[in-house]
Structure 1
Amino acid sequence: MTTMTPAQWYEWTLWAILLSSPVVFGVLMLLPAAYGRHKQGHSKWWGPGIPTRWSWVIMEAPSSLGFAAIFFAGAHALQWAPLILFAMWQAHYFQRSFIFPFRIKVRPGDTTPVSIPVIAVVTNLMVSFLNAAILSWDGIGHGYPASWLTDPRFVIGALLFVVGYRINRKADAMLAALRRPGETGYKIPRGWLYERISCPNYFGEFLIWSGWAIATWSWGGLAFLLWTLANLLPRALTNHRWYREKFPDYPVQRKAVIPYLL
């Protein structure tokens, strides 16, 4: 029996993400993932529930801890350019895994169907492999010498990443601030980018991973951008439609996720 090389595993994982992204997009356009405001009426398809805060930790932690384990297994992990790219990734995913779940406002007893974090653990480990291995492993990717830090692709990508990071964090904070202690309902977000789009948090994520794809100039980065769009674009469109149906006074000029366009 022939053993697959790391490069072959990488190629297999890459194709799995690339080919499954349009399928995931189509499924989520028809059947919204049953968490948050879209849980009612859909959760029976997604299995029994677990506490929402811990579901976030379970599904996001592989993108922080798994990525770190894969990255530091590589021969080039302690070089400057890979380390800085590693820090960029962790700036998002450490916060998303271990801080964000305990800052969001959830209703007492709120749960998330267990299938959602289970699926996320598998796919997040695959995505982490695609993006960590290119940074530090031999034989995968084009390599990142110190000179990469002055390459226009890294500079442009890193700037876009930072802009998206800022938008994502601020949008999440504004959503969390809408719900006062003891409140359980939903409100119309007001101010800043929320005057233009319903989901600036997702818009920020699109910018983050567009920046990452450019900064790494890699197939792994591109695959993750497509995977992010496949998962979050349907969510943004569904959220936008939900707002308009729930609130008769919802601002008609707002788009869903891209200012002035979509």
Structure 2
Amino acid sequence: MTAISGVVLAYFGLSEAWGKHLQYSKFWNAGSPPSDKQLRISSRVGMLLLYTPALVAAAAAFAVPAVVADDRCRLLALALALHFFKRDFEVVFIHQYSGNMILDSAIPISLSYFSGTVCMIYAQYLTQGEPGPRVDLKVAGEVLFLVGITGNFYHHHLLSKLREKGDKTYKIPKGGLFGLVICPHYLFEIIVFIGFCLISQTLFSFFFALGTLWYLMGRSYATRRWYLSKFDNFPKEVKALIPYIF
């Protein structure tokens, strides 16, 4: 599962950069037009489908005594549950939607989050009784997780304020780190997964964080390219993901 998760996420990231998008958000109808045979669902329902199974999996871990009894395992499950609860909260109360989602795109993302959550907790469970890491990075992971989840929420809030109710047009985001990168919410999402990695300190959490990095790098690259194609006044100095670098 460690190898599969890393490779699949990296492949999705390269596919995004090459223009083969998972069809949700502004890319729901990018590239080839969707076939009439493809099932479309509302973006709100689709986004809930992405995150809710992972939230249920993280919450269910607290019913396992061995998870609750281990400090690192319990902390990891709590962080995962908080992350996906926040995402569902944003879906219901924060995000604005302008289109539909293709079910074929929602399912692999949902499975990725769900399997990643389950495997991350299970990998942590398997470390019980083994010697702990020589350098304990749990506190650093907690700090990065809180920074990442806060920054991600803040920039999602800014994105939601771009359009009035009923307005489905896209605008160039402003405020926060949007003056430096077009996808600061992805940057903070990566910080969240690095936080998971440092809390856990298992091989699976490392490769899942690395795969998430690759996927969001490809997604942010495609997003910047989309803005450049849609807006003549898009500031060229604004990078995709990492200020001044990428």
The residue type paired with residue 121 of structure 1 is S
Matched, 1:29 2:17: yes
Q: Which residue matches 1:128?
A: 117
Mapped pair 1:185 → 2:175: no
CA apart distance, 1:236: 0.6
Q: Contact 2:61–2:77 at 8 Å: present in 1 too? A: no
CA distance in 1, matches of 2:130, 2:179: 40
Q: 1:22 to 1:191 in 2, by over 3 A?
A: closer
Which of 3, 16, 20 lines up with 1:15 in the alignment? 3
Unaligned runs of 5+ in 2: none
Residue 62 of structure 1 contacts residue 121 of structure 1 at CA under 8 Å; is this kept in 2? Answer: yes
Match of 1:258 in 2: 242
Question: What is the one-letter code of the residue matched to 2:15?
Answer: V
Q: Which residue of 2 aligns with 1:90?
A: 81
* Paired position in structure 2 for 1:158: 142
CA RMSD, Structure 1 to Structure 2 (Å) = 2.4
CA distance in 2, matches of 1:73, 1:196: 44
Cα shift at 1:176: 0.3
Instruction: Check 1:100–1:143 CA distance in 2 against 1; reply closer, same or farther (3 A cut).
Output: farther
- Indicate if the aligned counterparts of 1:34 and 1:42 stay in contact, CA closer than 8 A: no
Instruction: Tell which deviates more after alignment, 151-160 or 249-258.
Output: 151-160
- Which of 197, 202, 213 is matched with 1:229 structurally? 213
Aligned to 2:50: 59
One-letter amino acid of the counterpart of residue 170, structure 2? Y
Q: SS of the counterpart of 1:50? A: strand
Answer yes or no: is the 8 Å Cα contact 1:43–1:113 preserved in 2: no
Match of residue 103 from structure 2 = 114
TM-score (norm 2): 0.88
Distance (Å, rounded) in 2 between the aligned partners of 1:202 and 1:143: 36
Q: What percentage of aligned pairs have identical amino acids?
A: 22
Give the direction of change, closer, same or farther, for the CA distance of 1:133–1:72 in structure 2 (3 Å limit).
farther
Amino acid at match of 2:10: P
**Stretch deviating more after TM superposition (60-69 or 22-31):** 22-31
The answer for unaligned runs of 5 or more in structure 1 is 1-12
Aligned length: 241
Structure label with greater radius of gyration? 1
**Which secondary structure state, in structure 2, belongs to the residue aligned with residue 16 of structure 1?**
helix
- SS of residue paired to 1:124: helix
| TM-score, structure 1 normalization | 0.83
Shift of 1:29: 2.2
Conserved in 2, the CA contact under 8 Å of 1:70 and 1:133?
no
